[in-house]
Amino acid sequence: MRKKQPTQADVAKLAGVSQSTVSIILNPQGKDHLLISEETREKVQAAIQELGYVINPAARTLAGGQNRLMGVFINGSAFPLDQHGFYHPYLVGIEEACIRHDYDMLLFTRSDGGEGVRRIYRNGLNHLRIADGSILLGLENKEELARLMKEEYPFVFIGKREVPDGDISYVAADYFRGTQTILSRMMALGHRQTGFFYRLYNDATKDRERGYHAALAENYHSSVTHMKRQLTVQEITPAFCRDVLDAGVTAILMEEPAMAHAFAEGARQIGRTCPDDFSIAALSDNDLAYLPTQVAQELVMINIPKLAMGAAAVHMLNQLIVDRNKAHDAIQMTIPVTISGGSTIGTVRVEEELQG
């Protein structure tokens, strides 16, 4: 039979004080804390030692205290077998910042209703509520976000999400400026015919798209041919590459490195090489571990500052938790990206220009 834990009342009885005195001593941030005499404090500490008292976090939360629990809701595995998980770098940043801010991490694992999508609400219950606040990664369900907002549950989204019913707090990568920088660099080297290819059309894609158009607008004032479409990696065949290149496109922006790699491979098979015949760049560094090391090093791409984003999310969420009783605007933070690689962008060949 499991023994009953000692409670504050037990401690109080042993120390010869009231239970609230014990509570006040245990809560240094409370306003009465300084009023307790050193003598009382020592008696209580001694009783705590003697009984092996430990606080009951559930009772503390219920009574209005905090658990210092930071929830992490991932729409996927936090510990994928291959260790190259998309989310891993965010989690590194989150864990590190949680340690600094003195939070434990609560990983919600059991929200998969068998539909392949993890849901926050099941049976009408918000699982997140046991944590003081939560960081959300990869959640696509905007309804659930809207409901969390309505409940005024403190949360921070990693990645950008625009929801209908008002602003949510998020930390995002600056895809706008990253994309703009890369395309401007290409256009400075003479490229005029551009292509923009994405895997999914989501809020991040919209930012990249805006950056793409901003670069077009500021770098070229006469008309420019450009292609823009949604693609899967499987669709990037040699035939597709020929179509794109024969249309005169020489500056290619792909959402994912794997798509850029597939294009370079497809083009090679029809005798076109990079950067001689075309320049190419990726607008993220996702799943880089699955590409050859050389590609990972040479391909021009946007590096998503995942560690910094994870850490920033913890900072922001801590702020929301601390201020949870004040009226509060959403905090939205955009973190600068860096651009790596270099050898997949070059000047436009003279022949190309003559042809074009």
Partner DNA sequence: CTGAAAGCGCTTACAG
**Which residues contact its own copies by CB under 8 A?**
1-3, 5, 45, 48-49, 52-59, 61-62, 67-69, 77-81, 83-84, 88, 91-92, 94-95, 98-99, 102-110, 112, 121, 124-127, 129-130, 147, 150-152, 307, 324-327
Residue 51 vs 149, nearer CB to DNA: 51
What 8-state DSSP symbol labels residue 33?
Answer: G
Contact predicate 117/140, CB 8 Å:
yes
Q: Considering the rule CB under 7 A, would residue 48 count as an interface residue with DNA? A: no
Among 13, 14, 28, 35, binds DNA (CB under 7 A): 35
Among 14, 24, 91, 158, binds DNA (CB under 7 A): 24
Cα separation, 306 vs 70, in Å, equals 18
Residue 38 vs 329, nearer CB to DNA: 38
Cis peptide bond N-terminal to 6, omega within 30: no
CA nearest to 61, candidates 3, 14, 129, 109: 129
Min separation Cβ 56 and DNA, Å: 4
Cα separation, 311 vs 94, in Å, equals 5
Cα separation, 144 vs 126, in Å, equals 10
Q: Which does 147 bind (CB under 5 to 8 A by kind): DNA, its own copies, none?
A: its own copies
Q: Within its chain, how far is the Cα of 78 from the centroid?
A: 13
Give whole-number Cα distances, 269 to 236, 239, 254, 261, 317, in Å: 12, 10, 19, 13, 49
Min separation Cβ 29 and DNA, Å: 7
Min separation Cβ 107 and its own copies, Å: 4
Q: Within its chain, how far is the Cα of 67 from the centroid?
A: 24
Contact predicate 194/186, CB 8 Å:
yes
Among 2, 28, 52, 63, binds DNA (CB under 7 A): 63
Q: Which does 37 bind (CB under 5 to 8 A by kind): its own copies, DNA, none?
A: DNA
Query: Which among 4-12, 75-83, 200-208, 307-315 is the span making contact with DNA, rule CB under 7 A?
Result: 4-12
> How open is the CA angle 93-90-341, to the nearest 5 degrees?
100
Q: Considering the rule CB under 7 A, would residue 28 count as an interface residue with DNA? A: no
Query: 38-49: string of b/e by CB count within 10 Å (b at 16+)?
Result: eebbebbeebbe
Min separation Cβ 174 and its own copies, Å: 23
Q: Which does 107 bind (CB under 5 to 8 A by kind): DNA, its own copies, none?
A: its own copies
Q: Which does 212 bind (CB under 5 to 8 A by kind): its own copies, DNA, none?
A: none
Query: Which among 51-59, 157-165, 257-265, 295-303 is the span making contact with DNA, rule CB under 7 A?
Result: 51-59
Give whole-number Cα distances, 55 to 22, 27, 174, 279, in Å: 11, 11, 44, 62
Residue 347: in which H helix or E strand, if any? none
Min separation Cβ 42 and its own copies, Å: 14
Q: Considering the rule CB under 7 A, would residue 139 count as an interface residue with DNA? A: no
Contact predicate 51/13, CB 8 Å:
no
Residues 6 or more apart in contact with residue 184 via CB below 8 angstroms: 215, 218, 219
Greatest extent of the chain over all pairs of C-alpha atoms, in Å:
95
What 8-state DSSP symbol labels residue 132?
Answer: S
CA nearest to 302, candidates 131, 178, 139: 178
Q: Considering the rule CB under 7 A, would residue 324 count as an interface residue with DNA? A: no
Residue 85 vs 178, nearer CB to its own copies: 85
Q: Considering the rule CB under 7 A, would residue 39 count as an interface residue with DNA? A: yes
Q: Which does 146 bind (CB under 5 to 8 A by kind): DNA, its own copies, none?
A: none
Scanning residues 225 to 244, which ones bind DNA (CB under 7 A)? none
Q: Considering the rule CB under 7 A, would residue 326 count as an interface residue with DNA? A: no
Among 13, 51, 65, 142, binds DNA (CB under 7 A): 65
Residues in contact with DNA by the rule CB under 7 A:
4-5, 7-9, 16-21, 23-24, 26-27, 30-32, 35-37, 39-40, 53, 55-56, 59-60, 62-65
